[in-house]
Structure 1
Amino acid sequence: MAKAGLEAAVLDAELRAQGRSMAECFGAVRDWVDCGVSVGIAPTLEELLDEVTGYLEEGYRRIKLKIKPGWDLVPVAAVRELIGREAMLQVDANTAYTADDIPLLASLDPFDLLLIEQPFAEEDLATHVRLAQATETPVCLDESILDVTTAVDAIERGATSIVNIKPGRMGGFLEALRVHDACVAREVPVWCGGMLETGVGRAANVAIAALPGFVLPGDTSASGRYFAEDLTEPFVLGSGEHRGRMRVPDAPGTGVAVREELVRDWASRPAVTIGG
């Protein structure tokens, strides 16, 4: 993640000097991107449904539910009933399951999920292959995809049919572009994940999510999903024909400006005492 941040800063500076946006540099093909939202494990089913209802009212085009053993079939069924059969719904297991859970995960098929994300340990491609063979729900890898080499290996082994691209996890946007291109060449759809970025990182994520291979809504939520105040002007969802979408920044570099007054206010300067 540190490398990704440094690389993004260098790209931002160079592109600002050239008067070019990140979206232009990356090869974006759209001005707006569809947005999804990630919903964590709730204390109760009622609270989960209330949270999902709120996100639907905000306009999000896709709901992602976190699941774990003991919190899977019931919440997925309840949310599917709430949002209807046509709404986009996917689940993320964050490596919480083992090979013994393949029958349980296959039983999610009737809920018409977009995908099931990273059900098993990141190094356990073999079990992901077994699940892919046992289920109609597409298997998507996240933590297993570290770079273009691991992406191609997972695809060719049949461990994944969709890839979650997280530039921060891959060490930067240049490697993320290579993963995108490799997936497009193999007709594997991708989407953009998130790692709790501020507006600076979110701007870059939205830019890369505008590439042609990103055909599923990403975790490019509005700033208000995580921050009372963002380091940039807040990212918000569009309205009208762009409801549930986010505008791709088109100004030079990341296309956003850091709110320097917030940096000053939030900066931490620990006191240092020298000597006795």
Structure 2
Amino acid sequence: MHIESVSLHHIEMELKTPFVTSASTTKNRELIIVEMKDKDGVIGWGECSAFASPWYTEETIQTAWHMLNDFLVPLVLNKRIEHPNDVQMLFQNIKRNNMAKASIEGAIWDVYAKRKNQPLSKLLGGNKYKIEVGAAIGIQENELTLLNTIEQYIEQGYKRIKVKIKRGMENAILSPIRKHFPSLALMVDANSDYTLHDIDLLKRLDHYNLLMIEQPLAANDFVEHAQLQKQLKTPICLDESINSYHDAFQAIQLKSCQMIAIKVAKVGGLTASKQIHDLCKAKNIPVWCGGMLDSGIGRAHNIAISSLDNFTLPGDTSASSRYWDRDIIVPEVTMNDGFISVPTNAGIGYEIDRKALTAFTLKSTTIT
């Protein structure tokens, strides 16, 4: 591959309903869409999932734009790239900034798959024709809204429900859920809202028969998570802690968790995601694919990686209509009875809705 130009599109999409966590409320989702063209005119697409503020990782839309424009794009322009795996080496001297890196690498994977006339999933080693998905629900205004929202997703066929929790609200959120849905496949996401001082609160979660507790402690608390897991019956799943292969290796070695959520953007791309998947498979640690309030482009990359065989738990890659009145891909991602079909077309398997992309764009630049 010989990359001839890269266009960056800073877009803003309005969520159907605000997404509330213990740390933030998102009403409008800003993203950076990467459009990459090689010398033969093949176009690949990537997505930078940084948020507008650094509540989730240190990256923001503004810092990612700077990194892409001034550092990362120049490293791939007019270079001969034999395989997308080579991008890791090209970026090795730039520390972290994983979401910016993932957006470039994802576009290169798309170009590569289109040049090979193969679905992205197949080139990553995927063997599934459909993936199982769940729904993630932010903190709701009241109990009735929460229960009605869960009921809607159950009726739509989602295979598990994830709810956000925060310190002091555990029982208020979980007790009514278990009362109304005693056999629901249920997990909770704490977004690092607890410390080991809250161990008694966290141990009470064992009563709710949860699939897992996602990221109860801080991102760098590998030792503390290991101490906590010893005292819980419920499996701990790490998310914010897993930003690289080494993080996953460390978590497994220390027995900090029993499951891992892989987020393509957060770990630096599809190559790193596959490496973590393969490590977890070898160590009998099940994985699932986390969501980032993605547009259809990021969603397509998540579908592709989720086709690998150790993604055995339902992921957060739900249908486009779950979040957006209008997505930027055609056809939009759809869900049927809790499953999303893995595209069979070359590359990410979806076309870009140029009119929608233009309508959502705040600013663009092309680098040659």
Fold-level match, TM-score > 0.5?
A: yes
Deviations 1:94-148 (A, max 9, x none): 0000111111111111211110000011011122112101110000100000111
Three-state SS of the structure 2 residue aligned to 1:46 is helix
State the AA in 1 paired with 2:203: A
Three-state SS of the structure 2 residue aligned to 1:91 is strand
Which residue is equivalent to 2:165? 67
Work out which of the residue numbers 268, 283, 287 in structure 2 matches 1:171. 268
Three-state SS of the structure 2 residue aligned to 1:163 is strand
Residues in 2 aligned to 1:80 and 1:212: alpha-carbon distance in whole angstroms: 31
Verify the 8 A CA contact 1:122 1:143 in the aligned structure 2: yes
Which residue is equivalent to 1:109? 206
Tell me how far 1:268 sits from its aligned partner.
Answer: 3.0
For 1:3-82, list aligned pairs within 5 A.
3-82=101-180
Deviations 1:12-42 (A, max 9, x none): 0111011011110111121111110111111
Report the TM-score when normalising by structure 1.
0.93
Which residue is equivalent to 1:143? 240
Residues in 1 aligned to 2:211 and 2:249: alpha-carbon distance in whole angstroms: 21
Work out which of the residue numbers 343, 346, 350 in structure 2 matches 1:252. 346
- Percent identity of equivalent pairs: 38
Three-state SS of the structure 2 residue aligned to 1:90 is strand
For 1:236-247, list aligned pairs within 5 A.
236-238=334-336, 243-247=337-341
Three-state SS of the structure 2 residue aligned to 1:164 is strand
Report the TM-score when normalising by structure 2.
0.70
Three-state SS of the structure 1 residue aligned to 2:351 is coil
For 1:179-194, list aligned pairs within 5 A.
179-194=276-291
Q: Does 1:265 align with 2:359?
A: yes
Tell me how far 1:269 sits from its aligned partner.
Answer: 5.0
Three-state SS of the structure 2 residue aligned to 1:143 is coil
Which residue is equivalent to 2:218? 121
Verify the 8 A CA contact 1:190 1:214 in the aligned structure 2: yes
State the AA in 2 paired with 1:237: M
Residues in 1 aligned to 2:175 and 2:104: alpha-carbon distance in whole angstroms: 42
The answer to which structure, 1 or 2, has the higher relative contact order (CA under 8 A, 6+ apart) is 1
Three-state SS of the structure 2 residue aligned to 1:107 is helix
Three-state SS of the structure 2 residue aligned to 1:169 is helix
RMSD: 1.2
Three-state SS of the structure 2 residue aligned to 1:64 is strand
Residues in 1 aligned to 2:132 and 2:360: alpha-carbon distance in whole angstroms: 32
Deviations 1:43-83 (A, max 9, x none): 11111111111111111110001000121123112112222
Give the total of aligned pairs: 265
Tell me how far 1:88 sits from its aligned partner.
Answer: 1.0
State the AA in 1 paired with 2:166: K
Residues in 1 aligned to 2:123 and 2:256: alpha-carbon distance in whole angstroms: 31
Residues in 2 aligned to 1:139 and 1:266: alpha-carbon distance in whole angstroms: 38
Structure 1 or 2: more strand by fraction: 2
Three-state SS of the structure 1 residue aligned to 2:340 is strand
Gaps of 5+ in 1: 271-276
Residues in 1 aligned to 2:253 and 2:353: alpha-carbon distance in whole angstroms: 45
Change (3 A) 1:164 1:269: closer
Residues in 2 aligned to 1:21 and 1:126: alpha-carbon distance in whole angstroms: 40
Deviations 1:155-183 (A, max 9, x none): 11010110000010011010010000000
Tell me how far 1:264 sits from its aligned partner.
Answer: 2.4
Deviations 1:242-271 (A, max 9, x none): x1111111110001110011122333359x
Verify the 8 A CA contact 1:37 1:60 in the aligned structure 2: yes
Verify the 8 A CA contact 1:170 1:176 in the aligned structure 2: yes
Verify the 8 A CA contact 1:80 1:89 in the aligned structure 2: no
Which residue is equivalent to 1:97? 194
Residues in 2 aligned to 1:73 and 1:124: alpha-carbon distance in whole angstroms: 25
Which residue is equivalent to 2:229? 132
Q: Does 1:208 align with 2:305?
A: yes
